[in-house]
Chain A
Amino acid sequence: MELPEKEFLAPGHRACAGCGATIGVRLALKMLGENTVAVSATGCLEVITTPYPETAWEIPWMHVAFENAAAVASGVESALKAQGKTDTNVVVFGGDGGTADIGLQALSGAMERGHNLIYICYDNEAYMNTGIQRSGATPYGASTTTSPHGKESFGEDKPKKNMPMIMAAHGVPYVATASISYPEDFMKKVKKAAEVDGPAYIHLQQPCTTGWGYSPAKTIDLGRLAVETGSWILYEIEEGEFKVTYRPIQRKMVSEYLNAQKRFKHLSDLEKEKIQSHVDAICVELKI
């Protein structure tokens, strides 16, 4: 696959070194090209890319609030349609909090109404912009500032909300998971999402150096480990047809992924085994 050279997210933005979100946006925009309008939910991405009077966006971009990105995009898409500009892509970038929690209603509405838009959830598994608070997408066992581990707690005690399947239940024509560490897989999915007539949802996992607690040099490695251990599975659902898009040759132990991150450092061997057996159960079912 040829990687288009043109960048639509300019350098010089305020992201942390090793930020996974901006990698995801760059890759997505390379596929979508210049005839694209982007909408962002409030969050890291919005704050780091648009410190007035500067902007990193080389395509039209709009942000209104935290929970309404899908509704704003509904308006954008409808207005473009009313003007006959149906060839323009409308893409939304929302974080996991803005997607799985506060923005879920607006997203559900937009998906159910069938707007022709691409919603990309950049999932770093907590509210990172406000300083690492637990979201519905925070995985079991993770220590965050609102689900800290302690004498009486091993951290987050609920499993990660299954957003892609919630989206699939809306019957939208295209749903996929992806990882910034598998750019070709992700970009193919973005292309499919753009070609689909109707709503498309991509749930993009992206490691977060500050929130997960690892060296900024390791972002891509960690994203790979998530997939190679079966902790994050790459699949797509095209017109209801489920397909795993990447299978590790030899699945690695989940502890390798957990041990590489500060947020899981406190877990006992027993907790790690629990997580391993949960991952095993899913992977066996999916033949991974």
Chain B
Amino acid sequence: MVLKVMSSNQAIAEAVKLAKPKVIPVYPITPQTTISEYLAKYVADGDINAEYIRVESEHSAISACLGASGTGVRVFTATSSQGLALMHEIIFAAAGLRAPIVMADANRALSAPLSIWNDQQDSISERDSGWMQIYAENGQEALDSVLMSYKVSENKEVLLPTMVCVDGFILTHTVDPVDVPDEEEVDKFLPDYNPEHAYLDPKRPMSIGTFTDPDYYMEARHDMEVAMEKAKAVISDVSQEFADTFGRKYDFIEKYRSEDADTILIAMGSICSTIKDVVDELREQGEKVGLVRVRVFRPFPVEEIYDAIKGASNVGVIDKNFSFSIGGVLHNNIKSMMDVNAAGFIVGLGGRDIKPSHIKEIVEKTNNPSDKPQWIGLNKEEQ
């Protein structure tokens, strides 16, 4: 194994190169842009044999993905924040048309006020679209998740698109060591995509994207829910196959020193690396603290999370997003789906730095919970 130092954006581009999509429509947006640039260069150098479409908007990027996917080829695009919001309409259409698109989202705050910095409001706001969502902690996981996502999305039992989410700048523009898998091994793990359900082929005409009346619409949506449930077993199988081939195992959640913990924090994405450091520090001081990192957010791993936290006395859920009057979405998903008392914390909106001291404050407040979600890291004068 040769480790290369690269950003998550480059790691994602490397994964795309290995996945060999036939069509790549992209539109630049910070902090996703370098994914598009790496891919443009790979295409220019002949390292990827794909049609690279320089579309005029993110709306057209996802629309072109859908058109290409309709002909039965593998596709890729990447976006962020405003771009994802512009795609919103077609995000729902892509899932409804059961197109196994894989898209990277460089998590960034939504305007206004305009911010190019990280939080997870953009992808969290698409949670009801029918896309699967993965939140990676580092570049290696981003790369591996893209490869696994194609295999899950294209599975006949699933046929739903996947969004691989990486924290803007924190991951997209920082580098860490990444093992880029061997092409031949990836070819075996992820063979060509040959759909049986959707193809625009004059030899076997098919109409895709028809108009439905109330006799059929609910069934179409229900089928998606069934597929999302079935995706859980497929994700497990694909994850195991990936581990057997490449030696890295990813579960729905990652448990970090949580087995015997009295206090467990739950979070998603790059913040978990900071939390792990704080957990280690507090453990050294004798505090039984642990972390449960939610990696797969849709389908939502209710059983896995519940099993991991049910033994803890105190649970704190950290969100980089906010639903007005309700609080963090991960926090509320957990509270609504399982019988646990969990405190909720809002952090890091619009790129606000999250320091180890903030995590310690959250641990402290988790042990003395309040009913309302608490905003951590606000400027003093605004509190």
User: Which residues of A are at the interface with B, using a C-beta cutoff of 8 A?
Assistant: 34-37, 39, 46-47, 50-53, 55, 57-65, 67-68, 70-76, 78-83, 88, 105-106, 108-109, 112-113
Contact = CB atoms under 8 A, between A and B. Distances in A.
A109 to B, nearest CB: 3
Given A61-B208, A74-B55, A75-B75, 11 more contacts: A60-B202, A61-B200, A72-B66, A74-B60, A76-B70, A76-B200, A79-B23, A105-B57, A105-B60, A109-B57, A112-B56
B54 interface: yes
Contact of B63 (A36, A53, A59, A72): A72
Interface string B49-73: 1110111110111011111111111
Contacts of B53: 74-75, 78, 113
Contacts of A59: 202, 205
Given A51-B211, A52-B211, A79-B67, A61 B205 contact: yes
Closest 7 CB pairs of A and B: A75-B67, A109-B56, A75-B64, A71-B60, A71-B63, A72-B67, A50-B210
Given A71-B60, A105-B57, A108-B56, A83 B71 contact: yes
B22 interface: yes
A39 B216 CA distance: 22
Contact of A106 (B22, B56, B199, B209): B56
B382 interface: no
Nearest to B60: A71
B205 to A, nearest CB: 5
B201 interface: yes
B64 A74 contact: yes
A52 B60 contact: no
A112 B55 CA distance: 10
B36 to A, nearest CB: 15
B23 A64 contact: no
Contacts of A61: 200, 205-208
A64 B210 contact: no
Contacts of B285: none
25 contacts: A37-B202, A47-B211, A50-B210, A51-B213, A59-B205, A60-B201, A61-B200, A61-B205, A62-B67, A62-B209, A65-B93, A71-B64, A72-B66, A72-B70, A75-B63, A75-B68, A76-B67, A76-B68, A76-B71, A79-B72, A82-B22, A82-B68, A83-B22, A106-B63, A108-B56
A79 B93 contact: no
Nearest to A66: B89
B67 A105 contact: no
B212 interface: yes
Interface in B166-220: 199-202, 205-213, 216
Contacts of A70: 60
Contacts of B206: 60-61
A81 to B, nearest CB: 6
Interface in B15-63: 22-23, 25, 49-51, 53-57, 59-61, 63
Contacts of A74: 25, 53, 55, 60, 63-64, 67
A59 B72 CA distance: 16
Given A50-B211, A52-B216, A55-B210, A78 B23 contact: yes
A57 B90 contact: no
A53 to B, nearest CB: 7
A41 B201 CA distance: 19
B134 interface: no
Contacts of B69: 75, 79
A67 B97 CA distance: 17
A79 B71 contact: yes
Contacts of A72: 63-64, 66-67, 70
A63 B75 CA distance: 18
Contacts of B202: 34-37, 59-60, 88
Contact of A62 (B49, B70, B212): B70
Contact of B207 (A35, A55, A83, A106): A55
Contacts of B72: 79
A37 B50 contact: no
Contacts of A35: 202
Nearest to B67: A75
B211 A82 contact: no
A64 B63 contact: yes
Nearest to B49: A82
B66 A75 contact: yes
A109 B54 CA distance: 9
Contact of A79 (B59, B68, B89, B212): B68
